[in-house]
Structure 1
Amino acid sequence: MSDQPPPNVQQPVSPEAILAALEGDNREEFVAICRQAHPGDIEAVIEQLDEEDQEAFLDALPVDLLTELSDYVPSAAFERRVRSLPEAERREVLESMSDDELVDLLQEMPEEERPEIIDLLPEDMREVSNDLLQFPENSAGGRMTTAVGEIKASMTIREALALLAEEQEDTEILSRIYVVDDEGRLLGKTRLRDLAFNPRSKLVREIMDGDQISIGALADQEEAARMIARYDMVALPVVDSENRLLGVITHDDALDILQEEHTEDIELASGISGERGDLSYLQTPVIDHLRRRFLWVLGMAFLGLISGTVLHNQGDIFKTHYVLALYLPMVVAAGGNTGSQAATMVIRAMSLRELGPKTFLKVIWKEARVGMLIGGLLGLCIGAQVRFLLPESL
């Protein structure tokens, strides 16, 4: 029996193969490999490149392939490539993008340069983009897509299916169909299979599920992502102050949001500013690393000076009991490890929303007790070592 896969099965292309093709001189071979590769593998390659190589990579791609990568390429690199295209090709790329991808691209640009791009869009896309740009970048409204399956409760199932068939090309997710009233207010949801397997003469309101969770457009994007994870949702409807359906945040967007927020939490726990960006570690300029980290290190250095002052004031003790100096490295290391453990546990609890501002004093009290117990047990162990193992000559 042959181990060869059927000829119609596409084999995955490794990031290493893409990188090797990029470093070669054969552009046709490079493009052919990129066409076979999954966009996620291409994204993995681009993240390894510096800014100059990213530009060379994207410059080598034809426009039709570039449009497929709009949701995978770092927005700053994609924005530079789009702006370098001739107007006709630029319009082709922009028109192929979903509304949330397009808004991400526009938010990456300086505000004064956005009209140049918006003017290239068809009227309907231009209107949607302007509407979405009104929401803060990190809000639910700023991350939602308006490409959502939406039907009215007063429709028959036949009318609803006909409407969805007309609009399916412009709809990002059809596994959940949202039901609204004549004013556009969210009433509930239904599934495509419920529409398919019920009599066509039935009204949508008769089969819809009225138990629908939603979020306000101005709510924080992290709250939206956590709701999607908590309730195991495919998508979360976004509504305005009058409960009118504006769009949805999909589960893949929620994953991106949570990754960004967790990265910020980890950086803050490590004494970094926690600013988010599209650049990977290797792509981030040295000056940006310096700006994000120096003030924290400087603050810790001053705290270290305070510790040094305390030790200096107790210098007479070390002169008469100089053996104590042998244990200073242990004390410093134990203190650092204890602090790292406490920070890790607290940051994790904060990320999982187990802690909040109201629990601040409880956290301090709990960590103080844990620290005292650890210090006491460590003191007993070291005391035993001093008593039984330290040479009496010391």
Structure 2
Amino acid sequence: MNREEYYDQIYKAIKREEREEFRDLFLKLHERDQVEVFHLLYPEKKVKITEFLMPVEFAELFDDMDFDDQLAAFYYLPSTYLQNVFSFIADDNVVQFISQLDEEKRQQALDIMKPEDLQAIESLLKQKLGTAGALMTTELIRVTTEDTADDVIADMRLIGAQAETIYYIYVVNPSNQLTGVLSLRDLLLSPGDTKVKEIMNTQTIYVSQEMDQEDVARIIQEYDLLAVPVVNDDNILLGIVTVDDVLDVIHDEMTEDFHRFGGISSIDEEEGPEGETILQMTRKRLPWIIILIFLGLISANLISAFEDTLAQVVALAAFMPIILDSAGNVGTQSLAVSVRRLTLNEENEESFWKMLGKEFGSGVLIGLASAITIGVLSYFLYGSVTLSIIIGSALLMTLSLSTVIGSVVPTLFDKVGIDPAVASGPFITTINDTFALVVYFSLATYFIHHL
């Protein structure tokens, strides 16, 4: 049967309250498909899930849900059931869910937790948002240097199910300070009586709890890690950040950067279960629009300053949109390349000047091709060689300069400690429009007597 028919069999099993049939059908599905089944259930049917799935089974489902489905589960499932579910979910995932709730719902979630779970969750909630401390989980396997391989394997059998990952085992001293890391591969390939200190790796990559989450993601990517330990200033092991958490960070940071590229500001308020409200959407977009209005006044005043030139040769106005749009588009392309280099931490003085030279060379070639195209087109439309030279020269100079501006501005932002993504497309476009108008009308004014 196809997926729709299979889902229909599951829904009928819920309706008939046939637990075993439901479990037989539901647990054969991939976890992502299980999430979809839960998502499609009516609210009154969502409640019945507690009769068919054990808390540990639903915990795995909860981990794969997006926030909207997690919120639905929080609304509709009994608190006693959720209390057990939260016990089986990794601490960092619980914190991620709770941090998105409003103050009232957040307190409700904390109130239903078991005391032993609550302590770890509250500790993580106190960490500064956007840092390794807020991203980490405290559920990991710790061993000492004097433990043997058999001792570690025995511990893993006891507590491994509660750990976020078992591929790395972390070695600490009696003060809980990080001294090394042991891979599961080395552990399994070593004789049972081998001590941990003989097979552990002491060249451990770790991060501080205050490190920015983007830097944590970069370290995990650079060293090809599945997890990285988090320590405080005294080198005490606090937790680990896993690669799946890093993927979420990369997704969130990319979304934020795309918003900034589009001139959309971030706000601290979280979206509700139905997405952004009209007010939230407006608050994100309005600040940049207001700023760009004032910047646009500069362009307006420039046009006013060259009013006499424009009045004498009205044909100049016909090509203004082409020159302005081309300058903005080329500048935005250079901006994207520059921000990517900064984000990947590939920027240094040598690479900057090399990149700037390439961008300028590319701008010249693009400008030359565009100038020839628009020059020929304007000649056929107006029959003026001088007008064609003015328009073509202006486009050549503008596009060459726009690539430089699109590369330099985000680098300057980064140097003064401002996120380079703030140098968004609209911002670069406005700057390039101003330069384009100055170049265009200056050339037109200079050659006006030949028109």
Q: Do structure 1's residue 268 and structure 2's residue 260 form an aligned pair? A: yes
Tell me which amino acid in the other structure corresponds to 1:62. I
Q: Counterpart of 2:201?
A: 209
Is the 2:267–2:283 contact (alpha carbons within 8 Å) kept by the matching residues of 1? no
Q: What does 1:210-249 correspond to in 2, within 5 Å?
A: 210-249=202-241
Number of aligned residues: 375
Q: 1:344 aligns with which of 333, 336, 341?
A: 336
Q: What does 1:355-370 correspond to in 2, within 5 Å?
A: 355=347
Tell me which amino acid in the other structure corresponds to 2:152. A
Q: 2:166 aligns with which of 168, 171, 174?
A: 174
Rounded Cα–Cα distance in structure 2 between residues aligned with 1:18 and 1:340: 49
Q: Please, which runs of 5 or more residues in structure 2 have no aligned partner?
A: 388-451
Q: Please, which runs of 5 or more residues in structure 1 have no aligned partner?
A: 1-10
Q: Counterpart of 1:59?
A: 46
Tell me which amino acid in the other structure corresponds to 1:74. D
The two structures have a TM-score, normalised by structure 1, of 0.79
Rounded Cα–Cα distance in structure 2 between residues aligned with 1:39 and 1:345: 38
Change (3 A) 1:358 1:286: farther
Tell me which amino acid in the other structure corresponds to 1:249. V
Indicate the percent of aligned positions where both proteins have the same amino acid: 27
Rounded Cα–Cα distance in structure 2 between residues aligned with 1:204 and 1:176: 13
Rounded Cα–Cα distance in structure 2 between residues aligned with 1:45 and 1:331: 53
Tell me which amino acid in the other structure corresponds to 1:166. L
Which moved further from structure 2: 33-42 or 265-274?
Answer: 33-42
* Root mean square deviation, CA, Å: 4.0
Change (3 A) 1:281 1:159: closer
Rounded Cα–Cα distance in structure 2 between residues aligned with 1:281 and 1:319: 56
Is the 1:149–1:174 contact (alpha carbons within 8 Å) kept by the matching residues of 2? yes
Change (3 A) 1:369 1:82: same
Rounded Cα–Cα distance in structure 1 between residues aligned with 2:122 and 2:90: 14
Change (3 A) 1:62 1:44: closer
Rounded Cα–Cα distance in structure 2 between residues aligned with 1:61 and 1:278: 29
Rounded Cα–Cα distance in structure 1 between residues aligned with 2:36 and 2:351: 40
Change (3 A) 1:197 1:368: closer
Tell me which amino acid in the other structure corresponds to 1:133. L
Tell me which amino acid in the other structure corresponds to 1:201. D
Change (3 A) 1:306 1:215: same
Q: 1:317 aligns with which of 304, 309, 320?
A: 309
Change (3 A) 1:57 1:101: farther
More helix by share: 2
Give deviations 1:254-282, integer Å, cap 9, x for gaps: 11111111111111111111458876998
Q: Counterpart of 2:320?
A: 328
SS at match of 1:247: strand
Rounded Cα–Cα distance in structure 2 between residues aligned with 1:386 and 1:140: 58
SS at match of 1:345: helix
Q: What does 1:295-314 correspond to in 2, within 5 Å?
A: 295-314=287-306
Q: 1:256 aligns with which of 248, 259, 266?
A: 248
The two structures have a TM-score, normalised by structure 2, of 0.70
Give deviations 1:327-371, integer Å, cap 9, x for gaps: 112112212212221222223223322348999999889867865
Q: Counterpart of 1:82?
A: 74
Is the 1:18–1:34 contact (alpha carbons within 8 Å) kept by the matching residues of 2? no
